[in-house]
């Protein structure tokens, strides 16, 4: 459960948080100054979808790869829903249903929380590197996650809150398959909902793909050592670098 106060004092996090926040503020300034920003968002969403799929071992090279197209559709639909709904299990289930409409995905209970035990790593449960909570606990855990992300009385900076939510989703693994893609999409939606970015020109998964080992190992370390410090630093650095890269791309495109 994560819906409780968090104490980040006395860690290395504040400096990393300041740097990430400053980069996002600069990105938002550039977004506001970029003419026709809406016409540019599609390219960034495509980048996000390609990287997010590759992080799950899905081929995205030349040719028609339905998982990428489906994830793009899911991203665009979920972003469109934000004006009407908060980020919630409802939006995530809709997005999951859309992203899992491939021949392989439609057999994985699209749009529904799992009703069986799943695992991470290995071909069987015995070989797993991580076994998530039993499926009976998933609804309560996801409800707790929703409450945490929208709890106005918890004094946690939005970026830290989103980082914790990303990690918690990784632990819960609420769907039979596609949890990585769904969790990274959830993170983009939270950034938009909080107003931390003014446009979805933020392919965060590209950074995670560049540093795949660090991405997964930092979350695994948080789980095995009960210490979020490394994961929070990795997440905040991903935010900073993604914001800076998007700034450069927008400036180049608009010139």
Nearest of 153, 149, 193 to residue 169 by alpha carbon: 149
Residue the block writes with tokens 């249903």: 97
Model pLDDT, residue 252: 86
Model pLDDT, residue 63: 59
Q: How far apart are CA 250 and CA 247, in angstroms?
A: 5
Q: Is residue 60 part of a domain?
A: yes
Q: Is residue 1 part of a domain?
A: no
Model pLDDT, residue 102: 86
> Domain containing 211: what range?
13-254
Model pLDDT, residue 83: 83
Q: Is residue 89 part of a domain?
A: yes
Q: Is residue 5 part of a domain?
A: no
Model pLDDT, residue 200: 97
Model pLDDT, residue 11: 63
Q: Is residue 6 part of a domain?
A: no
Higher per-residue confidence, 126 vs 134: 134
DSSP labels, 77-120? HHHHHTTTS-S-HHHHHHHHHHHT-STTGGGS-TTS--SS---B
- CA 17 vs CA 28, 161, 164: distances in Å: 16, 12, 14
Q: Is pLDDT above 80 for 2?
A: no
Q: Which helix (H) or strand (E) holds 122?
A: none
Model pLDDT, residue 255: 61
Nearest of 237, 252, 176 to residue 19 by alpha carbon: 237
Model pLDDT, residue 8: 60
pLDDT tens per residue, range 4-41: 666 665 567 889 999 999 999 999 999 999 988 999 99
Indicate the length of the chain as a whole number. 255
CATH number at residue 96: 1.10.3290.10
pLDDT tens per residue, range 183-235: 999 999 999 999 999 999 999 999 999 999 999 999 999 999 998 999 999 99
Alpha helices (runs of H) in the chain, residue ranges in sequence order: 13-33, 37-55, 66-81, 89-99, 138-150, 158-172, 179-193, 204-210, 212-225, 229-254
Work out how many domains the chain is built from and give that number.
1
Model pLDDT, residue 136: 97
Q: Is residue 221 part of a domain?
A: yes
Nearest of 5, 3, 2, 1 to residue 155 by alpha carbon: 5
Q: How far apart are CA 214 and CA 125, in angstroms?
A: 24
Q: Is residue 2 part of a domain?
A: no
pLDDT tens per residue, range 36-92: 899 999 999 999 999 999 999 888 775 558 999 999 999 999 999 998 889 999 999
Q: Is pLDDT above 80 for 3?
A: no
Cut 0.95: pTM above it: no
Q: Is residue 132 part of a domain?
A: yes
Model pLDDT, residue 193: 95
């Amino acid at each position: 459960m994560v819906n409780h106060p968090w104490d980040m004092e006395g860690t290395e996090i504040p400096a990393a948080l300041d740097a990430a926040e400053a980069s996002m503020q600069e990105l938002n300034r550039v977004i506001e100054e970029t003419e026709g920003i809406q016409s540019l968002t599609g390219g960034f969403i495509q980048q996000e979808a390609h990287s997010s799929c590759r992080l799950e071992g899905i081929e995205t090279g030349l040719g028609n790869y339905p998982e990428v197209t489906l994830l793009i559709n899911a991203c665009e639909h979920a972003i469109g829903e934000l004006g009407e709904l908060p980020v919630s299990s409802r939006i995530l289930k809709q997005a999951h249903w859309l992203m899992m409409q491939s021949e392989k995905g439609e057999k994985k209970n699209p749009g529904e929380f799992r009703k069986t035990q799943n695992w991470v790593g290995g071909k069987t449960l015995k070989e797993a590197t991580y076994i998530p909570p039993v499926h009976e606990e998933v609804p309560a855990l996801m409800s707790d996650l929703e409450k945490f992300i929208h709890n106005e009385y918890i004094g946690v900076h939005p970026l830290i809150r989103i980082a914790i939510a990303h990690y918690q989703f990784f632990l819960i693994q609420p769907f039979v398959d596609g949890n990585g893609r769904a969790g990274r999409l959830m993170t983009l939606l939270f950034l938009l909902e909080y107003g931390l970015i003014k446009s979805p020109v933020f392919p965060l998964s590209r950074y995670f793909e560049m540093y795949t080992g660090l991405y997964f190992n930092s979350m695994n370390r948080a789980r095995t050592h009960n210490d979020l410090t490394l994961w929070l630093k990795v997440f905040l650095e991903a935010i900073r670098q993604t914001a800076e890269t998007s700034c450069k791309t927008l400036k180049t495109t608009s010139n």
